[in-house]
Amino acid sequence: MYDVIIIGAGVIGTAVARELSKYQGRVAILEKNPEVCQGTTKANSAIVHGGYDARHGTLKGKLNKRGVELYPGLAKALNFPYQRCGSMVLAFNREEEQKLWALMENGKKNGVEGLELLTGEEVRQIEPGIAPEVTKVLYAKNAGITCPFNMTFALLENAMENGTELFVNTEVKGIKEFGEGLSLFTPQGEFQGKMVINAAGVHSDRIAEMIGDRNYKITPNRGEYRILDRKAGDTVSHVIFQTPTPDGKGVLVAPTVHGNIIVGPTSDGIDSPEDTRTTKAGIEKVDRSASKAVPKVPLRESIRIFSGIRASVEGSDFIIEPSKTAKGLMHLIGIDSPGLASAPAIGEMVVGEIQERLSLEKKQNFIEKRRAIPHFEALSNGEKEGLLKANPRYKKIICRCEMITEGEILEAIHRRGGATTLDGIKRRVRPGSGRCQGGFCGPRVLEILSRELQIPMEEIRKEGTDSKLLSGKLKGALK
């Protein structure tokens, strides 16, 4: 029997796992997909929000602020990308300027430091790309950007190194209470735990339903995006928002930690939590809105469009509370934006609650740090030489757009909770995320996956369970 079972391996589930791995006890994460980080965490703006936007007095307000405080230390210990680049909210007229005032007041109440109101003139000095019509800007120095994939893999790897067990392809289909805890039913068998954490993202209301908690309702809300080539990377150096509307924070133009530019998202209520389609109307809206804030944003340098789904709930605050019907079950529901920014703080809070119930002992031998997979291109020439000597596999460039070597791909496969799919490799070390989107390296990565995992090429998947890439060997093929 496990002490704690976490349902869902997104950034929230893995943040809880990592925090929990500081304590003794048996912990498992169950994930229905073949890979970690395949839900909402794979498709968002990657912003570590400053904390001024979430309404004062809400869980969001509290956890966002605390999350921002935890980021620098966490990113450093676990070696995932995080840049405190600062964010700007643009106002184009009087009415919007007033909203900036209100935002700043709210931020101050949340305890956010480093908020400033700047004039259009002042702003164009530090961010020349923004529209000449901008009259005022709320500047948040503490806002930043991260890589949600790398962050999640880092949290997971470190949790696993400290003993957490991961089960992929393990969808929870039913929950039952018994004497000491809860039973989870999955196609891989039954899992029993003293406590269960429901971190199932857009599906967390369904998990709640399984035990009879019917008072939660997630309304899926879709956000569509465009990613621009690294060539466009110097378009802006801060996260550029527009004044929020009742629909949310609106379309942003932001740098990514990998040197691209991201524009989006939209905000549209949809019927299905799985509906990650992009639409013509959505992408047109992104383009229009992004150009309003940053007139010269080079939309033609687009290399990918995609969308993600927010787990919105009524009242629009995070719901983090014990089940009303089952003892030992904690629900994390409605973790939409700023869920990523708050993730470290959510981990802290949830583990606090677990501790109240289970009083686990601290580990003496907790391993706090994790080494990232070396990114060859980002190293200095001296470091490159060193790496090449230590590991000749780094000589072989597999992805030419992003300059990813075979050495990086091998690590992505062989680390704890390693990649088993094409997209799993892409999210960990980036081959296929460049301008040719895997046109050249795709077949090579397939080959490496097949060789290293000893599964036939035809069995390798792009991402989801039914996403096999090849339909079979050619009849006359030699190999």
Query: If we measure between CA atoms, which residue out of 19, 35, 23 comes closest to residue 424?
Result: 35
Q: How far apart are CA 70 and CA 52, in angstroms?
A: 16
Would you count residue 31 as binding ligand FAD (CB under 6 A)?
yes
Among 18, 65, 194, 203, binds ligand FAD (CB under 6 A): 203
- Annotated active-site residue in 49, 238, 258, 331: 49
Evaluated on CA atoms 372, 374, 378, 383, the torsion sign reads positive
With tokens 């006359």, the residue in question is 476
C-beta of residue 15 within 8 angstroms of C-beta of residue 399: no
- In the residue annotation, 49 being an active-site residue is answered as yes
Sole window of 27-35, 270-278, 363-371, 386-394 interacting with ligand FAD (rule: CB under 6 A):
27-35
Would you count residue 131 as binding other proteins (CB under 8 A)?
no
Sole window of 120-128, 305-313, 410-418, 429-437 interacting with ligand FAD (rule: CB under 6 A):
305-313
Sole window of 46-54, 90-98, 187-195, 411-419 interacting with ligand FAD (rule: CB under 6 A):
46-54
- The minimum distance between CB 456 and other proteins, in angstroms, equals 10
DSSP assignment of 29-90, as one string? EE-SSSSSS-SGGGSS--EE--SSSSPTTSHHHHHHHHHHHHHHHHHHHHT--EE---EEEE
Would you count residue 223 as binding ligand FAD (CB under 6 A)?
yes
Query: Strand 82-83 to strand 144-146: parallel, antiparallel, or no bridges (unpaired)?
Result: antiparallel
Would you count residue 47 as binding ligand FAD (CB under 6 A)?
yes
C-beta of residue 6 within 8 angstroms of C-beta of residue 27: yes
Q: How far apart are CA 200 and CA 218, in angstroms?
A: 12
Query: Strand 189-198 to strand 47-48: parallel, antiparallel, or no bridges (unpaired)?
Result: unpaired
Amino acid, res. 169: N
Scored b (16 or more CB within 10 A) or e, 368-381 reads eebeebbbbeeeee
Number of residues that bind other proteins (CB under 8 A): 52
Instruction: Map residues 280-299 to x or -, x wherever contact with other proteins holds by CB under 8 A.
Output: x--x----------------
Output the CA–CA distances (angstroms, integers) from residue 399 to 128, 376, 405, in the order listed: 33, 12, 7
Residues 76-135 that bind ligand FAD (CB under 6 A): none
Q: How far apart are CA 96 and CA 292, in angstroms?
A: 15
- The minimum distance between CB 168 and ligand FAD, in angstroms, equals 9
Burial of 192 (0-12, 13-18, 19+ CB in 10 A): middle
The binder of 383, among ligand FAD, other proteins, none, by C-beta within 5 to 8 A per type, is none
Amino acid, res. 360: L
Would you count residue 66 as binding ligand FAD (CB under 6 A)?
no
- The minimum distance between CB 216 and other proteins, in angstroms, equals 25
The binder of 47, among other proteins, ligand FAD, none, by C-beta within 5 to 8 A per type, is ligand FAD
Query: If we measure between CA atoms, which residue out of 211, 288, 278, 273 comes closest to residue 242?
Result: 288
Sole window of 6-14, 212-220, 291-299, 430-438 interacting with ligand FAD (rule: CB under 6 A):
6-14
Residues 394-423 that bind other proteins (CB under 8 A): 395-397, 400, 403
Would you count residue 310 as binding ligand FAD (CB under 6 A)?
yes
The binder of 337, among ligand FAD, other proteins, none, by C-beta within 5 to 8 A per type, is ligand FAD
Using CB under 8 A, list all residues that contact other proteins. Answer: 227, 274, 276-280, 283, 302-306, 381, 384-385, 388-389, 395-397, 400, 403, 435-440, 442-443, 447, 457-458, 461-475, 477-479
Residues annotated catalytic, as ranges: 49
Using CB under 6 A, list all residues that contact ligand FAD. Answer: 7-13, 30-33, 38-41, 44-47, 49, 171-172, 199-203, 207, 223, 265, 308-310, 335-341
